[in-house]
Structure 1
Amino acid sequence: MVWAVFQGMSRRLHKARAIPSALGMAMVAALVLVAQPTGSANAQGAAGAAPKLGPSGLPLPRFVSLKAGRVNVRVGPGQGYKVSWVFTRSALPVEIVQEFDNWRRIRDSDGTEGWVFHSLLVGKRTAVVAPWQDGDPLPIRAAPNDTAEITAYLQPKVVSSVATCEGGWCRLVDKRFRGWIKQTNLWGVYPDEVID
């Protein structure tokens, strides 16, 4: 059996202590009130319902991943807003919950939200293995079923590329392993979302 190494999710290089201007805070409050996200709804919408589209013409919410190895996350949609934290690793999955001009309001696996410039994101699908738990590793299987051979175990919080998802299972592809994991054990894909 193969054991995957724990991959920590270093995202907060520093916390900004600066207080945004009153005008900046008012603008952020207005944006939040006007376009309040509805949570982590399935990007494909309810059965038969069309997904909500953002100004870009793409569904909201939707999962993407970080393109750069250093991404400033701001308190508002613009370079004039203070940096609240910095992601220091590429390929982490984030959920876009709102769009404003060329800025995207994202949510990470901890539920923390902030604004990043659109070019720092990419449509490549990645996922975090069970970020809500600590401890026991989760099995990766040779086929998408509970009786298939276990080919690897992944620690919670490991990040991997998602190749496909179907029937409640997702195929992960990494330099060290390939295999299937239950979709409910991942953050970065919606329940029952089909990815091909």
Structure 2
Amino acid sequence: MTNSRFFATVLLMLAWTSAGAADFRSVGAPSVVLYDAPSVKGAKRYVAPRGMPVEIVARYGDWVKVRDADGELAWTESKGLSARRNVVVKALSARVRAAPDDHAAILMTADKGVLLELSDPQAGEWVRVRHQDGIAGFVRAAEIWGI
């Protein structure tokens, strides 16, 4: 490996690891294509629907490498993502409660895979969310992905 290639690799690795906090976004376009490389000439992996949360793990020009809730990595154009934050239920069933307390009233139960809008990005043990039907409440952070 040449010295310039070695230093470029080291710089790229540092850029990936120095990001600090996770950078989550949601698909903002009606859908986006996820590729195996940062190019429309890459192999298409799958189509991500509007609202799907993704974690940005790397940037390359107008492209971002993202991780989905299943841990799969793929590339997409950054223009298709939105700063609006959604989370996805990863537990079999998550209870959305009226207050951040296990004894608070249950407002709704969300099955695995249901999208919820993140109302407050300050996540602790409980996260404030809102369902597309307008129901707003709190869910345990351990039961969702995207924070």
Q: TM-score, normalised by structure 1?
A: 0.63
Instruction: Describe the superposition over 1:119-177 as per-residue Cα deviations: whole angstroms up to 9, x where unpaired.
Output: 001111100011xx44xx22111011112111111111111101014432111112322
Which residue in the other structure is 1:156 paired with?
112
1-structure distance, mates of 2:30, 2:83: 15
Q: Which amino acid aligns with 2:139?
A: I
Which residue in the other structure is 2:73 paired with?
113
- Cα distance 1:127–1:153, how it changes in 2: closer, same or farther (>3 A)? same
Q: Secondary structure at the match of 2:79?
A: helix
Q: Which amino acid aligns with 2:40?
A: Q
Which residue in the other structure is 2:47 paired with?
86
Calculate percent identity across the aligned residue pairs: 28
Assess if the C-alpha contact under 8 Å between 1:35 and 1:98 holds in 2: no
Confirm whether residue 74 of structure 1 aligns to residue 31 of structure 2. Answer: no
Assess if the C-alpha contact under 8 Å between 2:63 and 2:75 holds in 1: yes
Q: TM-score, normalised by structure 2?
A: 0.82
Q: Which amino acid aligns with 1:172?
A: V
Aligned-residue offset at 1:113:
0.8
Q: Which amino acid aligns with 2:26?
A: S
Which residue in the other structure is 1:4 paired with?
none
Aligned counterparts, 1:16-55, within 5 A = 34-35=12-13, 37=16, 52-53=18-19
Q: Which amino acid aligns with 2:84?
A: K
Assess if the C-alpha contact under 8 Å between 2:116 and 2:132 holds in 1: no
Compute the RMSD of aligned alpha carbons. Answer: 2.3
The runs of 5 or more residues in structure 2 that have no matched partner are: 1-7
Assess if the C-alpha contact under 8 Å between 1:60 and 1:98 holds in 2: no
Confirm whether residue 169 of structure 1 aligns to residue 126 of structure 2. Answer: yes
Question: How many residues in Structure 1 have an aligned counterpart in Structure 2?
Answer: 137
More helix by share: 2
Instruction: Describe the superposition over 1:30-79 as per-residue Cα deviations: whole angstroms up to 9, x where unpaired.
Output: 97x943855xxxxxxxxxxxxx34xxxxx664110001122111111122
Higher relative contact order (CA 8 A, sep 6+): 1
More strand by share: 2
**Segments ≥4 residues shifted beyond 4 Å:** none
Q: Which amino acid aligns with 1:178?
A: A
